[in-house]
Structure 1
Amino acid sequence: MSRDPGSPNRVQALHRAFGLLELMADGGGEMPLSQLAARSGLPLPTIYRIIRTLVDSGYVRQLPSRSYALGPRLIGLGESASRKLGTWARPVLADLVETVGETANMAMLDGDMAVYVAQVPSRHSMRMFTEVGRRVFLHDTGVGKALLAQLPPETAREIVLRAGMPAATTRSITDPDVLEKELDRTRSRGYAIDDAEQETGVRCLAVPVVGAPTLTAISVSGPEGRITSASIPGVVTHLQAAAVRLIQEFA
């Protein structure tokens, strides 16, 4: 758990509480006290006091296994934050659509799925349209792969195994070993490709928004006939520039 002891305005208890919530989120949403202690470096009695306060407030709940999980009160906060981030993102996505000519999306990791929090559609009559708030699998979408690629390989594998890897099209990756190799390629080249894996005839390119408050990715989607192999480098360049602009908006 990160610390900033030099910050003069920091309230230590709040800093520790948020750090523990982030550790639980990184661990799939639940974690025993012993694991929280090991990962945070905080004394077990300190962790227990903080967690019990969070339980009393509804931000954490205790499971029958005696582990602790993220609580329901966080849902409203997360939804409000996602809507606000989506509002901030729309001008950047609109510029991306103006430049590239295809639908632009922003998605965030939501448990074991990706959730779309913003979209600006293309002006073409034949275009991609995804409802804001829609949750999709990670293994067969561009944004999903861009999100998974930001995680350690073992964590990404755990997530897709929990969620399942159903085939949406004949091109969908359904083998976790094959997906792991694809994620390695995604990390090395800096962008993800959904090559008609989520919807037949549709290609999607996505990049991570590195430094966002939560795991975030943006994408451009359109027919394979318009997003051609030759156009990929240029589209990726514009996506990466948009990701940098988004970080500046979030700052």
Structure 2
Amino acid sequence: MTERTTGGVQSVERAFELLDLMADAGGTQTLSELANRTELPPPTIHRLLRTLVGRGYVRQLPNRRYALGPRLIRLGDGANRQLGQIAEPYLADLVGRLQETANLAVLDGDMVLYVAQVPSPHSVRMFTEIGRRAHTHDTGVGKAILSQLDEPTVRSIVSRVGMPRATEHSIGDPEELVSHLSLIRERGYSIDDNEQEIGVRCYAVPIPDAPTPTAVSVSGPQTRVDEAFGERAVPLLLEAAEAISREMNRTV
């Protein structure tokens, strides 16, 4: 008989719990590490991992550690495309009202992944390709995404991928980043002020209750995207973020 808990299939819930734990740990774990982080007995964990390995959602490394498998990439790509389709009308509305490029980005592993964009009508504009990956510490969307995470997770991310300084304005120190994220949480939005590229400024806000850490932004040349622009843009970004969140969490 199929096991069920709270209306769900217990074995499926347990398998996803293991995948979530591995993702939170950076993508790899040993069986004993997983056992220490869950109430599941080791034989159950081993049986679930063996099934996930057989399906390609987990792979076993030569050192006996378990890693997230390549089959998850296809699922992630499909989910990201769906998120982009949900957000696109709201990005288009932002562009119509602000006349600057609007983006949606998600946390993908330890990097930001741009999943949707509507470009500005201006000939001189900010352009980021959909599918581009960037660091979290020096992008508006990246910092908005990090502001949704706890401090240990933030420190783990930057320790794994580093904090290269794209410009002299980029944050390059974890302590400074942690302090800066506190400010972002207080005011509700982040700014990339010449940190990713000289001459470009970006305002971004997190998407509340998104299925994965997500942020929406508007960006453009600093000659147009100034403080006065930010005063107009932030309320519209917050409005768009709430609308995108409702759409993402709508149940059929």
Q: 1:26 aligns with which of 24, 27, 33?
A: 24
* Secondary structure, counterpart of 1:193 in structure 2: strand
Alignment partner, residue 217 of structure 2: 219
* Secondary structure, counterpart of 2:103 in structure 1: strand
Q: Aligned runs of 1:234-245 on 2, under 5 Å?
A: 234-245=232-243
Alignment partner, residue 138 of structure 1: 136
- For residue 13 of structure 1, report the CA deviation from its aligned partner: 0.8
Alignment partner, residue 181 of structure 2: 183
Alignment partner, residue 152 of structure 1: 150
2-structure distance, mates of 1:43, 1:93: 46
Alignment partner, residue 117 of structure 1: 115
Q: 1:174 aligns with which of 172, 186, 196?
A: 172
* Secondary structure, counterpart of 1:168 in structure 2: coil
- For residue 90 of structure 1, report the CA deviation from its aligned partner: 0.7
What do residues 75-96 of structure 1 show as CA deviations (whole Å, max 9, x unaligned)? Answer: 1111111112111211111011
Kindly tell me the number of residue pairs found equivalent between the two proteins.
Answer: 246
Alignment partner, residue 250 of structure 1: 248
Q: Aligned runs of 1:36-185 on 2, under 5 Å?
A: 36-185=34-183
* Secondary structure, counterpart of 2:204 in structure 1: strand
TM-score (norm 1): 0.93
2:200 is equivalent to residue 202 of structure 1: yes
- For residue 66 of structure 1, report the CA deviation from its aligned partner: 2.1
Alignment partner, residue 35 of structure 1: 33
1-structure distance, mates of 2:13, 2:209: 19
The RMSD of aligned alpha carbons is 1.5
- For residue 35 of structure 1, report the CA deviation from its aligned partner: 2.5
2-structure distance, mates of 1:46, 1:207: 41
What is the one-letter code of the residue matched to 1:113? M
TM-score (norm 2): 0.93
1-structure distance, mates of 2:191, 2:63: 40
1-structure distance, mates of 2:186, 2:30: 34
What do residues 54-73 of structure 1 show as CA deviations (whole Å, max 9, x unaligned)? Answer: 01111001123322110011
* Secondary structure, counterpart of 1:218 in structure 2: strand
2-structure distance, mates of 1:146, 1:15: 29
Q: 1:230 aligns with which of 228, 231, 237?
A: 228
- Report the identity percentage: 59
2-structure distance, mates of 1:188, 1:55: 43
2-structure distance, mates of 1:226, 1:123: 13
The runs of 5 or more residues in structure 2 that have no matched partner are: none
What do residues 144-183 of structure 1 show as CA deviations (whole Å, max 9, x unaligned)? Answer: 1111111111211121122122221121111121111111
- For residue 212 of structure 1, report the CA deviation from its aligned partner: 1.2
What do residues 185-238 of structure 1 show as CA deviations (whole Å, max 9, x unaligned)? Answer: 112221111111001111111111121111111111012222222332331111
* Secondary structure, counterpart of 1:174 in structure 2: coil
What do residues 11-69 of structure 1 show as CA deviations (whole Å, max 9, x unaligned)? Answer: 11111111211111111111222232232322222111111100111100112332211
2-structure distance, mates of 1:78, 1:103: 25
What is the one-letter code of the residue matched to 1:121? P
The runs of 5 or more residues in structure 1 that have no matched partner are: none
Alignment partner, residue 14 of structure 1: 12
1-structure distance, mates of 2:100, 2:216: 13
| Higher deviation after alignment, 212-221 or 29-38 | 29-38
1-structure distance, mates of 2:67, 2:231: 42
2-structure distance, mates of 1:150, 1:78: 20
